[in-house]
Structure 1
């Protein structure tokens, strides 16, 4: 009887009693169990002793060279581990069943079984991002790593990749319902979870929609609900009809996020344009098509509406604005400028790490005046852009104030991370 077959002490084990830990590979334990219980006879052992060196050489050749002793020793470890992985997975860790498997099958077939398990694992998606597919030439180095991993690590990774695969399949199913080609998802590197969330949100907000929306179309859908003062509770966020049973768990896992975001999305007090800007945290959780032409058309249409209403010509940006932004009117650069204005710091559209840290220290010591940036926008920005810039700035102030003024962030790690994410901070 092996150490794993009987307790360390004869007395009934107490809750905190110590027991022997058998650290041998599972293959070795199964082999010893089979010999001790007469399952594996001398003839079978002799066959194994003949096959083992052949297997070691094959594995060493596959991963490197069969002529180097270190490679052969590593190949032995790989072979033992591959057999252990296969026996543990196929028998559920039952020593008796594992011994019978060794008796009834060839030694090399059990090693191949473990290798096939790992190949299937490696072939599964490692990331839920559609743009991060694997490469065929990566199988060998990955197999070299995983052939020395434990069964617990294999099971954990299998569970993780199974969830990812289900999310990708669910996202693919939702996209197909709106005639959204998978190539488009791969091209922009869409995350499967973001596709699922957007699909659930689209079904709730526009159940009759036939196409996947871009940001402009989605903004109009939400704006219509805000105008009607639709309550979040009045919208149904449910699993799509016809969704395959095997994908329901993957979709259900994203419902909580959608339900949590819906009230804010419908709240007229929350600037919608800021929620949907490309760098916002909300936008990162939902996949919308990028369509620059649609955004340009929407912009020109808004100008045409001003002309039709008989409004005065839009106010152009002032020379002061042009000098301050220096042609950098992307959102991170503008937020950097506004933050400098609010803290009384020299106007810049890009900060160094040192300057950013100095700005945070000044803000925490003397406070800031967000209204100064708002006044600057209204006095100097182009008239047609002022409302958007004010919304952008107000959203930043609302979301970042607690972090920038936190007394608990002694080393300014959180504050600086926020500035790197939202503003323009050069490395």
Structure 2
């Protein structure tokens, strides 16, 4: 048999269609059941068309037919384990509506699992359920093998999230507080392991100052060991023990070499390169050094607790770039001064770089630096390099947190 002939024998039709053909060929489905399948199929198509759009349009009905075939096939293959004779018995004994619902329920459970290894609320980064069902039943109809692969990935994500929460709990952090960190699990695990590598009685997560001390201590370790963690793991669930062992090995082979090769200051300042490697708990007041406190106080003085808002950051950066005293809200006279100073001398890039490095909190630095270099800076140069005062003011008002009314 040639390769082309062998490939031609592979049946790529939907699993539901293969089961139905097998059932008819082997007389597992009689005429009465086949008639029932036709009636159930018509009803299911109308229901699915109405759920995702309208049952009155032909394209919606055709899409609904594909949805039904996908959902029923998913249920048949999952419940039969891919055994054709078992699947034909299911098709004989269960209605298409029940099988369609079973397939949809599997997708709903899949949707409920996390798509990212992120400590956050359940809806963060997750598409809504209806869009998810739409994608996997019509846009890119899911096969059972893809379903299994996606479920494995999401279950692993769930296990990593459980591990990060478990570690946080061992460090005295509640689940709710850890959720508020809104960081990826890897950074929490790496940070916990760095502490446990150096401290038998871990004093919580670290600020920048404590990280530098832990980094220095890690350089002196000849053979990495985590005795406190090993004691904790004795009472941990089996799946977390197994995963933690893998994470320890990953830390030793992947993270420790980075610590040994890259200076501590470079690791926490260069978030473009090392984003997500470690988690810095800046909310711990006891761990913040004098420099950290001064930085935090200066940023708070300027932004007034609005420092995570992009429009506030834009206004502050443009004021720094043009020598205008920075403030949370841009006054009209400040905007005019920005425009005049820019036309006179352009932007002071050194002042912006110094401000980002020494005043902007390190957790914002990478995003703020990227915004200035790739977005705000280039755009502002074009928008402010003009002779119309009104247009310049409109741009600054649209971009920054402004305190004056826009012209009519």
TM bin, normalised by shorter chain, reads 0.5 to 0.7
The 2-side partners of 1:422 and 1:108 are apart by 51
Q: Could you tell me whether the CA contact under 8 Å between 2:211 and 2:264 is conserved in 1?
A: no
> Is structure 2 residue 237 aligned with structure 1 residue 244?
yes
2:297 is matched with none
Q: Secondary structure at the match of 1:38?
A: coil
Q: Deviations over 1:355-409 (max 9, x none)?
A: xxxxxxxxxxxxxxxxxxxxxx9xxxxxxx9xx9xxxxxxxxxxxxxxxxxxxxx
Alignment of 1:180-195 (within 5 A): 180-195=173-188
Deviates further, 153-162 or 107-116: 153-162
Consecutive unaligned residues of structure 1, counting only runs of 5 or more, are 1-12, 303-322, 329-345, 352-376, 378-384, 389-416
Q: Could you tell me whether the CA contact under 8 Å between 2:209 and 2:288 is conserved in 1?
A: no
Q: Deviations over 1:153-201 (max 9, x none)?
A: 3233222211111111111111111121233333231101211222222
2:199 is matched with 206
Distance verdict in 2 for CA 1:140–1:324, change over 3 Å: closer
The 2-side partners of 1:232 and 1:167 are apart by 28
Query: TM-score when scaled to structure 1?
Result: 0.62
**Bigger Cα Rg:** 1
1:126 is matched with 115
Equivalent residue in structure 2 for 1:54, among 31, 36, 43: 43
Deviates further, 174-183 or 27-36: 174-183
Query: TM-score when scaled to structure 2?
Result: 0.65
1:262 is matched with 256
The 2-side partners of 1:235 and 1:46 are apart by 68
Q: Could you tell me whether the CA contact under 8 Å between 1:278 and 1:284 is conserved in 2?
A: no
1:160 is matched with 153
Q: Could you tell me whether the CA contact under 8 Å between 1:325 and 1:349 is conserved in 2?
A: no
Q: What number of residue pairs does the alignment pair up?
A: 316
> Is structure 2 residue 13 aligned with structure 1 residue 20?
no
CA shift at 1:117, angstroms? 0.7
2:397 is matched with none
Q: Could you tell me whether the CA contact under 8 Å between 2:113 and 2:158 is conserved in 1?
A: yes
CA shift at 1:23, angstroms? 2.9
Q: State the Cα RMSD in Å.
A: 4.0
CA shift at 1:22, angstroms? 2.3
1:337 is matched with none
The 1-side partners of 2:210 and 2:196 are apart by 14
Q: Which has the higher helix share?
A: 2
> Is structure 2 residue 81 aligned with structure 1 residue 80?
no
CA shift at 1:421, angstroms? 5.9
The 1-side partners of 2:244 and 2:159 are apart by 9
Q: Could you tell me whether the CA contact under 8 Å between 1:219 and 1:272 is conserved in 2?
A: yes
Alignment of 1:364-383 (within 5 A): none
Consecutive unaligned residues of structure 2, counting only runs of 5 or more, are 295-319, 326-346, 359-365, 379-408
Q: Secondary structure at the match of 2:223?
A: helix
Q: Deviations over 1:273-299 (max 9, x none)?
A: 333347374563122312485576433
